[in-house]
Amino acid sequence: MSSSKQHLIDLTVDTLERCSSFKHGTSCKTILYRLRKEHGLNIRQWKRIYALVMQTRKYASLLQETLNMLPETLRNSLYSSFRRWFLWLFLYDLLLGKNEIQSVMNQKEVLFSPENIALLRRCLESAQKRIPLTAQPCWQAENIYVYGRVNYVSSSLESVISNLEQSGYRRKRAKRKRGMGSNEFWLDCVVSGLLVFPRHSKIAQHSLVRHQRALVIQDKSSCFVAQGFDAPLGWTIVDACAAPGNKSMHLISRGIEQYGESFYQHPIRVIAIDRDKERFALMHRTIHEHGYDAFIETRNVDFLKWSCDDCQGIILDPSCSGSGLLNRNWTDDLEENLQEKESQRTRLKHLSNFQKKMLRHALCDFANCCRVTYSTCSIYKEENEMVVYEVLNQVQGLGWKLVDFLPQWPRRGWKDPLDSEQAAFCVRTDPKLDHTNGFFVACFERTLHERNIRQSYE
Ligand SMILES: C[S@@+](CC[C@H](N)C(=O)[O-])C[C@H]1O[C@@H](n2cnc3c(N)ncnc32)[C@H](O)[C@@H]1O
């Protein structure tokens, strides 16, 4: 390695270490800006260091996860031979960057033999599946759209569109969504009655949303549950973790859209439960304000301590890590993420145990229930496929099986532990690709009691 290249790498590692040890006050960017003056760097050198520092920080959790997956002996040799931030910088450059550093390493390169590099690549692939959030450089809030669903209790698609057009909005019919003006919108092709607006749209301030409640802001992924649940007329559906009530209201709204006048003769009824006092109060108010009182009954109880015999469906959307939500700044959280990794794992374990308990209760303790959806806004397998797999194995004796949910949506669940067919029945959204929050839904059905409860009003 030329001494100047070696110097730049040392400087990059020093900067990474300084950035990681700052607590409050000096930001990483400030440290980087000072660097140029402090070390008399030319602009090219400074830009290179800047890029390497930012990229290595962005991917550090993923790179650590990659290291965690290596055989212990190799991992320990790497740990004892290199500084932590050097290791991450080197791995970033080797696996995700321009591979400039490897060629100038002259010591200990035996640790980076072609076999070990191939092994690192395989570990990176597995790590990307485990913590895809750090592998998604363009997963930022700017990537998602704003979604507004028509509230069919008080309005209709035609009336909302005409109101929007009168107030200067323009419906875009072409497929190309790039370069959308802030006053443009288009209709979603998966969720009916869902309007899509660009991120910078001011639709949330429009009177259709704020005063008339004809349009409800709700992420597309969260609309999947009611869209795919396809509730038959006359059913009673328990929304087990309902606050602030989005999915309960969407179920009714969707019913009105789907069945028209027949809905009012044999309405779908929702029992919306939440155990949290404050969230419950907010939900109760929201349901009232949006005009759903006649169809949604609210209960401030613990779902685990409650049951009923006259419901046919349950939607279960329990508390989760929220790792699919886009309004979190993962890069800025990085230091805490790394330091708190262990406590995060413990938290995830607790959450998934709680989720399994809730799902078991939904599937085992409601005698006439024959359709249950399980959903989270988490991207972690531990809260999604693994919960479904474990509980499904425990309840199969009761006749439950996974069924194909929202088949028109292309992104499906992950295999292992689910088999290919089961995984393909589940729905996932990818925040990087789908312009929505990260979300997961699985649907369970059984036919045991269907004869007794299915009502054919349609
Ligand atoms: C992800 S949020 C639900 C969001 C809601 N489904 C919606 O779309 O508007 C989870 C909710 O579950 C509630 N919750 C957690 N444990 C519960 C339990 N044992 N019984 C009832 N509600 C519970 C929480 O208070 C929280 O409001």
Residue 247 alpha carbon, nearest atom of ligand 1: 8
The letter for the amino acid at 238 is: V
CA distance 438 to 135: 14
Contact predicate 429/436, CB 8 Å: yes
Q: Encode 221-235: b = buried (16+ Cβ within 10 Å), e = exposed.
A: bbbbbbbbbebbbbb
Nearest to 357 by CA among 327, 326, 319: 319
Residue 377 alpha carbon, nearest atom of ligand 1: 1
Helix 277-289 to helix 246-259 angle, to the nearest 10 degrees?
Answer: 30
Q: What is the pLDDT of residue 68?
A: 82
Question: Is there a binding annotation on residue 214?
Answer: no
Q: Encode 246-272: b = buried (16+ Cβ within 10 Å), e = exposed.
A: bbbbbbbbbbbbbbeeebeebbbbbbb
Residue with the nearest Cα to atom 13 of ligand 1? 241
Question: Is there a binding annotation on residue 242?
Answer: yes
- CA distances (Å), origin 149, targets 196, 246, 280, 292: 9, 10, 22, 15
pLDDT-derived band of residue 326, with 50, 70 and 90 as boundaries? low
Q: Is the confidence at residue 332, as pLDDT, over 70?
A: no
Give me the mean pLDDT over the 323-346 stretch: 58
| Percent of the chain residues topping a pLDDT of 90 | 54
Q: Is the confidence at residue 139, as pLDDT, over 60?
A: no
pLDDT winner (highest mean) among 164-178, 180-194, 229-243: 229-243
Query: Does any ligand 1 atom lie closer than 6 A to the CB of residue 274?
Result: yes
Residue with the nearest Cα to atom 10 of ligand 1? 319
Give me the mean pLDDT over the 293-299 stretch: 98
ipTM of the shown complex? 0.99
Out of 123, 377, 426, 443, pick the active-site residue: 377
Q: What is the pLDDT of residue 42?
A: 87
CA distance 193 to 188: 8
Nearest to 231 by CA among 373, 45, 394: 373
389-412 tens-digit pLDDT: 999 999 988 999 999 999 988 999
Distance (Å) from CA 447 to ligand 1 centroid? 27
- HSE, CB side, 13 Å, CA atoms: give it for residue 337: 19
- CA distances (Å), origin 148, targets 119, 202, 229: 46, 12, 19
Contact predicate 255/458, CB 8 Å: no
Q: Is the confidence at residue 252, as pLDDT, over 90?
A: yes
Q: What angle do CA 298, 301, 306 make, to 5 degrees?
A: 105
233-250 tens-digit pLDDT: 999 999 999 999 999 999
pTM higher than 0.90: no
Q: What is the pLDDT of residue 335?
A: 44
**Which residue of 241, 275, 279, 354 sits with most ligand 1 atoms within 8 Å of its CB, as the best mutation to test the pocket?**
241
Pick from 65-79, 212-226, 443-457: least confident = 443-457
Residue with the nearest Cα to atom 11 of ligand 1? 241
Helix 246-259 to helix 220-229 angle, to the nearest 10 degrees?
Answer: 50
Residue 222 alpha carbon, nearest atom of ligand 1: 8
Q: Is the confidence at residue 217, as pLDDT, over 90?
A: yes
Give me the mean pLDDT over the 48-68 stretch: 84
For the chain, what is the mean pLDDT? 85
Assign 299 to helix, strand or coil: strand
DSSP state, residue 157:
H
Q: 223-457 belongs to which CATH class?
A: alpha beta
* Beta bridge pairs of residue 216: 149
pLDDT winner (highest mean) among 73-82, 141-150, 345-354: 345-354
Q: What is the pLDDT of residue 327?
A: 52
Query: Does any ligand 1 atom lie closer than 6 A to the CB of residue 319?
Result: yes
Contact predicate 222/258, CB 8 Å: no
Residue with the nearest Cα to atom 5 of ligand 1? 242
Q: What angle do CA 229, 230, 232 make, to 5 degrees?
A: 125
- CA distances (Å), origin 270, targets 226, 233, 398: 12, 12, 24
Assign 199 to helix, strand or coil: coil
Residue in the structure block whose two tokens are 């779902």: 303
The architecture of the domain spanning 146-217 is 2-Layer Sandwich (3.30)
Question: Is there a binding annotation on residue 241?
Answer: yes
Query: Does any ligand 1 atom lie closer than 6 A to the CB of residue 427?
Result: no
Pick from 122-136, 157-171, 200-214: least confident = 122-136
Helix 341-364 to helix 385-395 angle, to the nearest 10 degrees?
Answer: 30
The encoded tokens of residue 4 equal 């100047």
* Beta bridge pairs of residue 297: 271
Q: Is the confidence at residue 283, as pLDDT, over 50?
A: yes
Contacts with 139 (C-beta within 8 Å, 6 or more apart), sequence order:
133, 326, 330, 431, 432
DSSP state, residue 413:
P
Question: Is there a binding annotation on residue 317?
Answer: yes
Give me the mean pLDDT over the 382-386 stretch: 96
pLDDT-derived band of residue 113, with 50, 70 and 90 as boundaries? confident
Pick from 197-201, 266-270, 378-382, 386-390: least confident = 197-201
CA distance 340 to 357: 26
The letter for the amino acid at 72 is: E
The encoded tokens of residue 287 equal 């349901």
Instruction: Please report, for the chain, the start and end positions of each structural domain, with discontinuous segments joined by +.
Output: 3-130, 146-217, 223-457
Measured over the CA atoms of residue 307, residue 309, residue 311 and residue 312, the dihedral's sign is: positive
The DSSP bridge pattern shows strands 371-376 and 313-316 to be parallel
Q: 3-130 belongs to which CATH class?
A: mainly alpha
pLDDT-derived band of residue 453, with 50, 70 and 90 as boundaries? very low
> E-strand spans in 175-218?
184-187, 194-197, 215-217
Is residue 28 part of the annotated active site? The answer reads no
pLDDT-derived band of residue 43, with 50, 70 and 90 as boundaries? confident
| Percent of the chain residues topping a pLDDT of 70 | 85
